[in-house]
Structure 1
Amino acid sequence: MNAAVFKKLRFLRYQDLDWKTVLLILVIVSVFVRFPFFFRDYVDRDESTFILMGQSWVNGHLPYTQLWDLKPPITFLYFAIIIKIFGKSFFAIRLFGAVMVALTSLFTYGVAIKITTKKVAFWTAIFCVFFQSLFGSLQGVMSEHICTFFFVAALYLLVYQNDAKWFFTSGLLLGLSVMTKLNMAYPVFCLGLYFLWEGFYGNHAWKNIKNLVFMGTGFFVTIACTAIPYYLQGDTQVWWKSVFEAPLAYSEGRFHSPWRTLPYVGTIILLLGSGFYLKLIDWKSKNIQLLTIVVIGILISYVQSGKVNGHYLIQLYPFILIPLGMAVAKLPPIQKKYRAVIAVLLILVPMESYLEYGNVISNKIKKGSFYNGEGIDVPRYIIDHNLKTEHIFFTEYHIGYWILDETPPTKPATHPSNITREELFPYMNNPRKSGVEELKYIMEVIRPKTLVARKGKKIFDKKLLGYNNYIDEYLENHYQLEATVGRGLIYQRLK
């Protein structure tokens, strides 16, 4: 964030804030923090997979029919729309992601000002941008960014409106959230239970029940709309198995355990519980109850899945930052002599962005391009040296398929790690039944002329000895190393 923005914030009168000003500031902060990552090949491998799925849709193939990934279709629709309009543009994908983060934070601000002061709401929104953009692989566009945007927008409507048409609209948005990331069904279900309880035991029982029915109707309308394209093609079973059955099978995978989620779940419960116990957060507030219900639903989804990656927490931040901001505001004010220290720390928060700005400038000086990363440099090398790209196999940097106008060799290879997720094969309509069989099919039947791996890293998870032993031995006997580009290893098949 530059000095001019800080100067403006320093003399800001919070009571004079309007929505346009808040949105402008949030967009400036979001774009500033995320801008240097607009030029990165990828930050998280999942984003590369979403891009491939979106491109496949643009090419006329519904999700799960040509390529396959474990996300509902609205995730891929975001990327498909941008690719359709702007072509193959990392910049456009990340720019709209930055705007989406700003809008999510704006709706968070809107919810917060119904509960607390404008000052607390404003800084909650600022930190909502930070927490959705920093501290891990959050600078790309993840499915969590998209689903959280829809959910916070829906919650905003539920906080401000109390008639049937707006409950229906919120239901549409909640449906979009779930059809972006299925685990959001848990907080939606918890919200439904809350409104059902309020309908039977609160005031205006009939109106509350009617609103709940309209919200549920909107929710199921969205779900049904995602099925229509598959119904028209006679592929409804593909939609059902990929969207609903596969995630349940994935949550029962071998590396998933509810116990692994306890550090995250326990920390959030401890923070909220302490705030309620110390009366820093007013439990009697209906809007605080709504936030708490949503947080509980998200935490339950983490426990059920048995896994919490860093980007999963994006779903929590808007809902947990509001009560935490309220609690912090009730602590003794910071002494004047420490305020300069706080300002310096605030400036240092986006340190990852500063480092990436340096990386972008360095890459421009050395290689003549702002765009950087092996996912870009490796395909450039392949093009410059006229290497064979037909049936190319990216075990790493698979965004390279997109740059080279190629597709993964098989459905499970859309995301390289899916090759090892045998529990998902039945839902892909995949003829091979095991991961090793799939890998052998790629290497021995498709026989890619070019294979890309990563230096210093096993091709598959180090726990999967059978996979790694097979492919290491196969590469040694049938391939030679053509080039090393950064950390990218480019192998050519022996004649």
Structure 2
Amino acid sequence: MAKKLNTTVLKKFHSFSFKNLDWKRVLFILVAVSVFIRFPFFFRDYVDRDESTFILMGQSWVNGHLPYTQLWDLKPPITFLYFAVIIKLFGKSFFAIRLFGSFMVALTALFTYGIATKITSKKIAFWAAIFCVFFQSLFGSLQGVMSEHICTLFFVAALFILFLKEDGKWFFTTGLLLGLSVMTKLNMAYPVLSLGIYFLWEGFHKKQIWMNIKYLIFMGIGFLTSVLFTLLPYYLQGESEIWWKSIFEAPLAYSEGKFHSPLKALPFVLISVGFFYITYKKKLLSFKSKPIQMLLLCIAGAFLSFAQAGKVNGHYLIQVYPFFLILIGVMFDKLTTIKKRYQYLVIALIPLIPIESYLEYANIISNKVEKASFYNGEGIDVPRYILEHELETKNIFFTEYHIGYWVLGVKPPTKAATHPSNITREELFPYMDNPRKTGIEELKYIMEIIRPKILVAREGKKIFDKKLVEYNTYIDAYLEKHYELTATVGRGLIYQRL
């Protein structure tokens, strides 16, 4: 019976005509898959703390304050523009932020599909796009909207144009998109530079150097247009210096931080080099192919940026997933024996991949039954408790769940506290014009001068990284002397000043 069912499924699978797929059908499928996988996370307070910071920065912009002037974070302004536009149009809506994030993931996968069709079959391109949705939405803190989601969309759109068109106006358009990508996340400058070097090399190799230089000039003009677009509002307000320091100087200081090391990127580099060496020896990829060379350079540029930053978080890999998935698809297209042998297994496993989504569907239903709301998480529940019990809201310090500032409609106690961990990144203080020189001095200013009436922390977790002994020793002693634990909401600890 099971064998007959599997045979029926396989027949339907093979009868699906990939040749007749057009981009509209592909986009519809990708949007449906993306929304289905990500929908239960529309109601979560936060998935990654960085997203909460982006929301605060976007809200500050909506309130009339350019990024870096009232609040501060280590990202270029296009990241915050996404959130500012959503908040301006739809108000304080987790649902809208995550819904448009799902559309963005689907569009990135669509461009991935478009690039892949220039290298391999529509069938392989389709599955590369589907897995692009999976890898941008699962396996870690990827269900929120991260800066990597935004910058990768701009980059793959630019790369798709490069695969499709070769004339001045399209190279200018590509430059605009690449500039937006870099102004979303600065490390994308490395893949952009890799592409520029590639076009110069190709010009020399094919003896068309002047034509390629002309194209690069158009691309460079487009790129600079995007960069200067982000400068314009600062220039008009006489804040050009903070734009320059926050976007270009601060990331260099951050990469030299005490917990960063180029060696952290080494495992990813070695695994990638090993993978591509095997594909080269087995002749599974044509390394003489221009599209494959460009994809490899994009991956190499991204990994070089990870090494320079000295840090590789899981969401950083969003920037390379589309390129890897296309190359893996091309490789598997040549492994016909493996394809036939494991197609039953693949069909059985695909529905099991979004296990995180299934669990979250159960979580939001459970939360609806228990708390009469689909929206869940301490970042929502703690502010609700504070409001219901009429606790102080104006002078409050979230050391955890700092999305609570947005829910309550208040701002962090200082610019450095926009993201709680920035308090300890004293190497960034000069670039945010912070009057305090050290992290401990900043923390003491918050606790002893501003003196928050309410402090929110997380149960079972140190307030600061466990390596930062001095910070934790100070704040633990200060809390014990000057605060009392008023309530525990989920894992959220609400301390009230004595």
- What band does the TM-score fall into relative to the shorter chain? over 0.9
Amino acid at match of 1:472: D
User: Does the C-alpha gap of structure 1 residues 337 and 298 become closer, same or farther in structure 2, counting only changes over 3 Å?
Assistant: closer
User: Does the C-alpha gap of structure 1 residues 267 and 412 become closer, same or farther in structure 2, counting only changes over 3 Å?
Assistant: same
Q: Secondary structure at the match of 2:485?
A: strand
Q: Secondary structure at the match of 1:260?
A: helix
Q: Which runs of 4+ in 1 moved over 6 A?
A: 5-8
Post-superposition Cα deviations, 1:357-415, rounded to whole Å, max 9, x if no partner, equal 00000000000000000000000000000000112000000000000000000011000
Post-superposition Cα deviations, 1:445-489, rounded to whole Å, max 9, x if no partner, equal 000000000000000000000000000000000000010000000
User: Does the C-alpha gap of structure 1 residues 168 and 6 become closer, same or farther in structure 2, counting only changes over 3 Å?
Assistant: farther
Determine whether 1:255 maps to 2:259: yes
Post-superposition Cα deviations, 1:64-119, rounded to whole Å, max 9, x if no partner, equal 00000000000000000000000000000000000000000000000000001111
Determine whether 1:389 maps to 2:393: yes
The CA deviation at 1:340 is: 3.1
Amino acid at match of 1:280: L
Cα distance in 2, alignment partners of residues 8 and 379 from structure 1: 51
C-alpha contact 2:332 2:339 (8 A) present in aligned 1: no
Amino acid at match of 2:84: A
Post-superposition Cα deviations, 1:100-157, rounded to whole Å, max 9, x if no partner, equal 0000000000000000111110000000000000000000000000000000000000
- Residue 451 of structure 2 is matched in structure 1 by 447
The CA deviation at 1:332 is: 3.0
- Residue 45 of structure 2 is matched in structure 1 by 41
- Residue 441 of structure 2 is matched in structure 1 by 437
Amino acid at match of 1:250: Y
Q: Secondary structure at the match of 2:45?
A: coil
Q: 2:132 aligns with which of 128, 131, 137?
A: 128
User: Does the C-alpha gap of structure 1 residues 95 and 6 become closer, same or farther in structure 2, counting only changes over 3 Å?
Assistant: farther
Cα distance in 2, alignment partners of residues 382 and 446 from structure 1: 19
Cα distance in 2, alignment partners of residues 6 and 470 from structure 1: 63
- Residue 30 of structure 1 is matched in structure 2 by 34
Determine whether 1:489 maps to 2:493: yes
Post-superposition Cα deviations, 1:248-304, rounded to whole Å, max 9, x if no partner, equal 000000000111111112112211222122110011111111111111100100111
- Residue 269 of structure 1 is matched in structure 2 by 273
Post-superposition Cα deviations, 1:223-262, rounded to whole Å, max 9, x if no partner, equal 1111111111111000000000000000000000111111
Cα distance in 1, alignment partners of residues 382 and 415 from structure 2: 22
Q: Secondary structure at the match of 1:115?
A: coil
Cα distance in 1, alignment partners of residues 345 and 473 from structure 2: 53
- Residue 321 of structure 1 is matched in structure 2 by 325
Within-5 A mapping of 1:190-209:
190-209=194-213
- Residue 480 of structure 1 is matched in structure 2 by 484
Amino acid at match of 1:173: L
Within-5 A mapping of 1:293-308:
293-308=297-312
C-alpha contact 2:112 2:129 (8 A) present in aligned 1: yes
Cα distance in 1, alignment partners of residues 365 and 397 from structure 2: 31
For the aligned residues, what is the CA RMSD? 1.4
Cα distance in 1, alignment partners of residues 73 and 339 from structure 2: 52
- Residue 182 of structure 2 is matched in structure 1 by 178
Report the more deviating stretch, 189-198 or 244-253.
Answer: 189-198
Within-5 A mapping of 1:54-453:
54-334=58-338, 338-453=342-457
- Residue 53 of structure 1 is matched in structure 2 by 57
User: Does the C-alpha gap of structure 1 residues 386 and 209 become closer, same or farther in structure 2, counting only changes over 3 Å?
Assistant: same
Q: What is the TM-score of this pair, normalised by structure 1?
A: 0.97
Unaligned runs of 5+ in 1: none
May I ask how many residue pairs the two structures share in their alignment? 490
The CA deviation at 1:8 is: 7.7
Q: Secondary structure at the match of 2:19?
A: helix
Cα distance in 2, alignment partners of residues 138 and 362 from structure 1: 22
User: Does the C-alpha gap of structure 1 residues 238 and 263 become closer, same or farther in structure 2, counting only changes over 3 Å?
Assistant: same
Cα distance in 1, alignment partners of residues 11 and 490 from structure 2: 41
Post-superposition Cα deviations, 1:142-186, rounded to whole Å, max 9, x if no partner, equal 000000000000000000000000000000000000000000000
Cα distance in 2, alignment partners of residues 104 and 114 from structure 1: 16
Q: Secondary structure at the match of 1:14?
A: coil
- Structure 1 vs Structure 2: percent identity of aligned residues? 71
The CA deviation at 1:338 is: 4.6
Q: Secondary structure at the match of 1:490?
A: strand
Unaligned runs of 5+ in 2: 1-8
Post-superposition Cα deviations, 1:315-370, rounded to whole Å, max 9, x if no partner, equal 00001111111111111334767533321211100000000000000000000000
Post-superposition Cα deviations, 1:14-43, rounded to whole Å, max 9, x if no partner, equal 111110110000000000010000000000
- Residue 460 of structure 1 is matched in structure 2 by 464
Cα distance in 1, alignment partners of residues 92 and 272 from structure 2: 39
Amino acid at match of 1:238: I
